[in-house]
Structure 1
């Protein structure tokens, strides 16, 4: 008898919801291509049911809560996730192809960030109330928008779901969240756990692919949409949002440079940037993808980087010793291999440990040298364990190479010269500039960039403002009788 595959349902109105569809997606473990579960593809009618549930929760309950009440509820959710760390980590590992040790650490980060949003709910600030015109008293309100539609990516399923729903809920909105169609499992568990502490309908999770996401974005009762994803997907969200003049929060792709000067130890820095390049199999919009290295240490750096790339233990994500897992899905595996196959003849490929014997969607850590600034591999986001390397001989040349893409999310500079570091922190055209580190994130500071990265800011109190409407209330005087 064939084994039965579990069907996991969307979460709407505080409970599991049976969609009006027979179309489903198989959720695969990218480490071995085994089927984990089957998840329905929600229709526009299902999305409408989720939006109506969210709107009811907003109007009747959630918008009327105080910041302290919302904070307390979110803290309870964070604590419940922490109590179930191993369950969440296992789902994240199986669903997204993360080594189990890395998945556990990411659950802890997600919990920490949700606790930040819970605390920040009580700290919204604005202009001081006062008399800015004679006889008139002005005050500023920051009110929730209503139902927020959100689309999360597949590279950090739970963490990105927290980045989406955490701030939206903290300021009094309700949420319809669509996880990536290949990695919905931890987000569905999040909804189930959160449902114990939030009003029914405050957090709804619909599952499906592009059509489901577009139904969320285009729904007339969704007042704001937020996406973390590719620039192409972000443009589509912006187009759909523009037809209704609704707010769109876009956190999109990246192509982060790491500028390495000749006043650092190339071997030490090579191992640091390798960790920032190959963590999560390079599937991070802030990953160190472009090595821009001073010519005096270029050869030594490349040798050390190749050594670091060969030092990862590739294997099944359930193994504690695995340090580099597969890419998250078949389509991404195909895309990365396609980019590598299209490399022009002037590019040399330096590969790390071979993955040929592994069954899943594995890609060897790869360094591309001899690249030209105009090459596809330099200009376009690859989103895998692949980096490019270029040399420079003047600071001006390094800046030109670093800023010479359409992405503007993150960058790093490696130097022992403080004056140089300060200059580059100003001249690098990226939303984040790391100095002598790369990939570190703290909830207290904003995360986002410009150009094709989209301009949306996640984390910090800045994101709370994104999810609120600033309203000016002015009091006049009718005089006294």
Structure 2
């Protein structure tokens, strides 16, 4: 189904389109170019919007069942190409191959489960004099802007809901990780009617062109809070609908009754999964002072067993930071922490070439340190002592972000009472990062706007229409 894993094109109106200009995509483990992605022009975007708008009426008129069936076919086609897609994903993103394979499998799962959602007409009133119905109608053309940390999976948070609800689609991957998404766009062109699913890659100019385009009715974006604010500002010019899944500085709260040996491994991966490049990773670890020293020792003991390396090497468990900009940001954060005299509990080992940063744990830094207040989005995490539950709740909430949080301990009622007071969209108890296509996901404060996943997320791709009948 995929013609070549070495040639990359846009997908516009069901056709593969080459461009004059391309950008080199760098493998962050080797700093070598692994492919050249097309750079879409304003004209390419206009053509994609025109195709999507032309395809919209017929696509919207199809039943949920018809649209769902094509989404399931799409999922199966991706699954048939899982090995090739996962290898390409590792080359451009850097994550270990086993994690890339898991991401492709999760994307397939997300498509299939999301295809089961339905919206039906609701009768709000039925009397002798009045009949009122509520309908959910698709918005039109949706722009899906996808980040570089999980370029395939996070695309599938958006794609099936946009299509299932009757919208047509333009998918834009990050310039750092466009290749796998472009190949998936090729697959989509063999499944969906022309114009329903379009894929455009480009440079930093493409995103603003999409968010400002008058022919696009909604933008769904996953990425930084700073960029999310710019998208909301741009969308306001024509009241374009937006869903924004943005940054997080999630707190993990370790209660004094926790079984340290049992939780060290899941907490470690809750901190450092994907080399810390996960919006819902634990980024501030609050440990009760009674168990702090033992917890630190056990965490370091486990961290020493984890290997950082090239994602194509079978032994690698963590890969590089994905791009040079983020690499320099995290390196600067570590450098400043050292210059300010912060204590480092652990610095692991990592290859010297490529964008590798070792697992780094900071020991009880001050509350105003950048490593505490900012979302590092890399493999560096602070451990922080606390004494009372009131104190730790206040400190956990002392952030502009409110995406997620986790609580670890045996006393579930205590954990739940703390969870009730955390200002976040999701709180996990004795787990972290568990998401589902059937459960709503969104952030509080500056961590986002709107909901992804579940029927609630599906409604975000629709307008509400009321039909009233006067029966008198």
Query: Which bracket does the TM-score occupy, shorter chain normalised?
Result: over 0.9
> Of the candidates 345, 351, 366, which is equivalent to residue 350 of structure 1?
345
Q: Distance in 1 between matches of 2:348 and 2:203?
A: 34
2:158 aligned with 1:164:
yes
> Of the candidates 123, 128, 131, which is equivalent to residue 123 of structure 2?
128
CA shift for structure 1 position 207: 0.8
CA shift for structure 1 position 246: 1.3
2:176 aligned with 1:203:
no
Q: Distance in 2 between matches of 1:353 and 1:347?
A: 17
Q: Point out the more displaced range, 449-458 or 64-73.
A: 449-458
Partner of 2:36: 38
CA shift for structure 1 position 125: 4.6
CA shift for structure 1 position 443: 1.6
| Deviation per residue, 1:327-358 (Å, 9 max, x gap) | 11111111110111122524112334311x44
2:15 aligned with 1:15:
yes
Partner of 1:330: 324
| Deviation per residue, 1:64-119 (Å, 9 max, x gap) | 11100000000001111111111111111111111001111111111111001111
Check the 8 A contact 2:248/2:279 in 1, yes or no: yes
CA shift for structure 1 position 57: 1.0
Q: Distance in 1 between matches of 2:305 and 2:449?
A: 36
> Of the candidates 243, 248, 256, which is equivalent to residue 249 of structure 1?
243
Q: Distance in 1 between matches of 2:274 and 2:360?
A: 14
Instruction: Determine helix, strand or coil for the equivalent of 2:368.
Output: coil
Q: Point out the more displaced range, 303-312 or 432-441.
A: 303-312
Note the residue ranges of structure 2 that are not aligned, 5 or more in a row: none
Q: Distance in 1 between matches of 2:310 and 2:352?
A: 8
Q: Distance in 2 between matches of 1:396 and 1:425?
A: 12
> Of the candidates 393, 401, 411, which is equivalent to residue 395 of structure 2?
401
Note the residue ranges of structure 1 that are not aligned, 5 or more in a row: none
2:101 aligned with 1:104:
yes
Partner of 1:386: 380
Instruction: Determine helix, strand or coil for the equivalent of 2:238.
Output: coil
Check the 8 A contact 1:315/1:358 in 2, yes or no: no
Check the 8 A contact 1:292/1:401 in 2, yes or no: no
> Of the candidates 309, 314, 319, which is equivalent to residue 308 of structure 2?
314
- Size of the aligned set, in residue pairs, is 467
2:68 aligned with 1:71:
yes
Q: Distance in 2 between matches of 1:417 and 1:436?
A: 10
| Deviation per residue, 1:354-412 (Å, 9 max, x gap) | 11x44221111111123122221111111011111111111101101111111100100
CA shift for structure 1 position 288: 1.1
CA shift for structure 1 position 285: 0.2
Check the 8 A contact 1:346/1:371 in 2, yes or no: no
| Deviation per residue, 1:130-176 (Å, 9 max, x gap) | 337x6121001101000011210000011111112111001110011
TM-score, length of structure 1 as denominator length? 0.94
Give the alignment's Cα RMSD to 1 decimal.
Answer: 1.5
Q: Distance in 2 between matches of 1:205 and 1:243?
A: 24
Change (3 A) 1:448 1:126: farther
| Deviation per residue, 1:170-193 (Å, 9 max, x gap) | 111001111000101111111111
| Deviation per residue, 1:429-458 (Å, 9 max, x gap) | 111100011122222111211111122221
> Of the candidates 147, 150, 155, which is equivalent to residue 141 of structure 2?
147
Instruction: Determine helix, strand or coil for the equivalent of 1:79.
Output: helix
2:213 aligned with 1:219:
yes
| Deviation per residue, 1:233-280 (Å, 9 max, x gap) | 101100000111111111100011110011012233222211111111
Check the 8 A contact 1:410/1:449 in 2, yes or no: yes
CA shift for structure 1 position 6: 4.9
> Of the candidates 79, 86, 108, which is equivalent to residue 83 of structure 2?
86
Q: Distance in 1 between matches of 2:406 and 2:282?
A: 8
Check the 8 A contact 1:309/1:352 in 2, yes or no: no
Check the 8 A contact 1:63/1:144 in 2, yes or no: yes
> Of the candidates 26, 47, 55, which is equivalent to residue 57 of structure 1?
55
CA shift for structure 1 position 23: 3.4
Check the 8 A contact 1:309/1:366 in 2, yes or no: no
Instruction: Determine helix, strand or coil for the equivalent of 1:210.
Output: coil
Q: Point out the more displaced range, 262-271 or 218-227.
A: 262-271
Instruction: Determine helix, strand or coil for the equivalent of 1:243.
Output: helix
Instruction: Determine helix, strand or coil for the equivalent of 1:209.
Output: coil
